[in-house]
Amino acid sequence: MKLIFALFLFLTISSASVVDEYLNTLTKEAKIENPSFSGFDLKRGEEIFTSKHIGKKGKEVSCVSCHGEDFSKTSKNFFTAKEIEPLSPKANPKRFSEVKTIEKWLRRNFNDVYNREGTTQEKGDVVTYIINK
């Protein structure tokens, strides 16, 4: 029992550290890109996530179109109707557990919604919003 608890603790800590480390890396990059960088902002992240844009497919979409408004619930892919597991790392421990996966989906999803990749600032803002919501 103790062992299971220790393992659980280890897993939560290690997954927390993946996203923290990712945000640290983004912070370093952002400081190089912009000397007056003043940190990532949840409110800006919310705007990035919820605002609608004419995306890559020529349809008006936002991040909400696929991930929904409640990150602790499963949602439906706007284009394919396939279920998407909850985005919140609190509800879904697989989220934000691997930098390669985070980067892959941010690259794809910014392209889908904004028709371009996200900037370092934008990626940091939106991740800060998702993990704190």
Q: What are the residues binding another protein (CB under 8 A)? A: 56-58, 77, 79-82, 100, 104, 107-109, 111-112
DSSP state of 117: P
Minimum distance of ligand HEC from residue 88's CB (angstroms): 10
Contact region with ligand HEC (CB under 6 A), list: 6-14, 25-33, 34-42, 60-68: 60-68
> Tokens 């697989």 identify what position?
94
Minimum distance of ligand HEC from residue 3's CB (angstroms): 27
Distance of CA 117 to CAs 15, 30, 74, 94, 121, Å? 25, 15, 25, 23, 12
> Considering CB distances under 5 to 8 angstroms, the limit depending on partner class, which of another protein, ligand HEC, none binds residue 28?
none
